Amino acid sequence: MPRPLGIGPQHSLEELHAHFKNLSRAPFVEILADLIKCAPTKEAVHAFAQEHPDKWVNTVRTMARLSGYHDQLEITENVNIMIQSMGDTELESTLAALEQEILDLPEHEYAEVLADDQRELAHISDEDIEGPAS
């Protein structure tokens, strides 16, 4: 009997609980790989688009979001970002871009950015990060 899509002995119940507790997307990677391998042919996509243009638009929108595109306006001159709504890939690429921006600054500005960061972080306590002690 074939296994259900993406389900198998690769994750124990305890591992799954740990992944979910940490808000990890790792258990879904195998399912995503299985789904992508089942992608329709170009001809089938064309026929689908012709037959259901409304569903095709929603499919394009969904795939664009999954690819990291979104329809929200970005403020490019501000480093305050809402990481709660970002996917892993988008978060990693945003972090890499910000790190590169800092490294590209002239040395005196780089020192100012680090000093600003240290001042902003100075008021954050361990409790703010970890939450109240149980």
Q: Compute CA distances 97 → 82, 88, 91, 109, whole Å.
A: 15, 14, 10, 17
Shortest CA distance to 67 belongs to which of 101, 95, 32, 42? 32
Same domain for 19 and 62, yes or no, is yes
Residues 60, 95, single domain; the answer is no
* 17 and 62 together in one domain: yes
pLDDT tens digits along 11-70 = 788 888 888 888 787 778 778 888 888 999 999 999 999 999 999 999 988 888 877 776
* pLDDT reported for residue 41: 93
Whether 29 and 58 map to the same domain: the answer is: yes
Report yes or no on 43 lying in a domain.
Answer: yes
Least confidently predicted of 10-19, 51-60, 81-90, 109-118: 109-118
Helix (H) or strand (E) holding 15: helix 13-21
Q: Which domain holds residue 46?
A: 13-66
User: Does residue 2 lie in a domain region?
Assistant: no
The amino acid at 117? D
Query: 93 and 62, same structural domain?
Result: no
Cα gap 122→115, rounded to integer Å = 10
Tell me if 107 is assigned to some domain. Answer: yes
User: How far apart (Å, rounded) are the C-alpha atoms in residues 99 and 103?
Assistant: 6
Q: With pLDDT > 70 as the criterion, what percentage of the chain qualifies?
A: 63
20 & 62 share domain: yes
Calculate ∠ Cα 24-30-32, nearest 5°: 90
Alpha carbon distance 123, 48 (integer Å) = 55
Could you tell me if residue 96 is inside a domain? Answer: yes
Query: Within 10 Å of residue 111's Cβ, how many Cβ atoms?
Result: 11
When divided into structural domains, the chain yields a total of 2
CA dist., res. 37 & res. 111, Å (int): 48
* Predicted pLDDT of residue 78: 53
28 occurs within a structural domain: yes
pTM of the model: 0.39
